[in-house]
């Protein structure tokens, strides 16, 4: 397994285990919305939130996605750009979440999870390996990666707009994809960047 993907897997699992043991200040690392009388927002939370997970199933599915898509994307990008790409997606997801919750007057609950980075990786995988077969878990349907990415993006948009599955930051997932798309454009010398 490539080094950055392996390090991310280890770090996420370690933080989850240490957090469960009360050895990590979870409230200081989760992404809190800014503003309000007793705002708990801090700039570092735009990265640290991605190492926290709310439950065993939450971390399991995020790490499964990181494992499935991250190794292949890291081999393609190289470790250095891959790390920038992943954290660009994480940052974009966090900013998107803050903008959307601020605009919609969302709940003052913190956001946690690596999903924004994983959705960025999913986008890169579908972009660079569009015909590779990917298997949905529920229901187990094989499909090309490009279709898989489109299905997930449409579902996230629908869930985010309708408020389905409250407590899940669906539009932040799309923010991770947006950050990934911008990084891909930068890598290719396309819009909005020129090299």
Check residue 16 and give its pLDDT. Answer: 96
Cα–Cα distance between 124 and 119 in angstroms, integer?
9
Check residue 188 and give its pLDDT. Answer: 86
Mean pLDDT, to the nearest integer, of 161-179?
Answer: 84
Check residue 20 and give its pLDDT. Answer: 86
> Does residue 153 carry a pLDDT above 80?
yes
Predicted confidence band of residue 36 (pLDDT cuts 50, 70, 90): low
For 162, half-sphere exposure in the C-beta direction (CA atoms, 13 angstrom radius) is 8
Cα–Cα distance between 164 and 146 in angstroms, integer?
24
Q: Quick one: how far is CA 158 from the chain centroid? A: 18
Q: What are phi and psi of 86, to 5 degrees?
A: -60, -50
Check residue 178 and give its pLDDT. Answer: 95
Predicted confidence band of residue 37 (pLDDT cuts 50, 70, 90): low
Mean pLDDT, to the nearest integer, of 61-87?
Answer: 97
Query: Could you tell me the two tokens for 125?
Result: 């995988």
User: Could you read off the pLDDT of 128-148 as tens digits, one per residue?
Assistant: 999 999 887 777 889 999 999
Topology (CATH level 3) of domain 3-188 = Rhomboid-like fold (1.20.1540)
Cα–Cα distance between 82 and 25 in angstroms, integer?
28
Mean pLDDT, to the nearest integer, of 160-166?
Answer: 73
**Nearest to residue 17, comparing CAs of 51, 61, 67?**
51
Check residue 141 and give its pLDDT. Answer: 86
> Which of residues 163 and 178 earns the better pLDDT score?
178
Check residue 194 and give its pLDDT. Answer: 59
Check residue 139 and give its pLDDT. Answer: 77
pTM here is 0.91
Beta strands in the chain (DSSP E): 133-135, 142-144
Residue 109, classed as helix, strand or coil, is coil
């Amino acid at each position: 397994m490539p080094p950055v993907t392996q390090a991310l897997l280890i770090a996420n699992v370690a933080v989850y285990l240490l957090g469960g043991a009360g050895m990590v200040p979870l409230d200081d690392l989760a992404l809190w919305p800014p503003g309000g009388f007793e705002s708990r927002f801090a700039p570092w939370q735009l990265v640290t939130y991605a190492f926290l997970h709310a439950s065993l199933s939450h971390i399991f599915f995020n790490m499964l996605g990181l494992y499935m898509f991250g190794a292949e994307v890291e081999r393609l990008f190289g470790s250095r750009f891959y790390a920038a790409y992943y954290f660009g997606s994480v940052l974009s997801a966090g900013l998107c979440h803050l903008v959307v919750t601020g605009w919609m007057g969302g709940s003052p609950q913190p956001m946690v999870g690596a999903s924004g980075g994983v959705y960025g990786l999913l986008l890169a995988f579908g972009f660079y390996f569009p015909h590779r077969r990917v298997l949905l878990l529920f229901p187990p349907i094989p499909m090309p990666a490009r279709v898989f990415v489109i299905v997930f993006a449409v579902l996230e948009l629908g869930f985010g707009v309708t408020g389905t599955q409250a407590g899940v930051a669906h539009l932040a997932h799309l923010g991770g994809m947006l950050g990934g798309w911008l990084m891909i454009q930068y890598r290719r010398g396309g819009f909005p960047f020129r090299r």
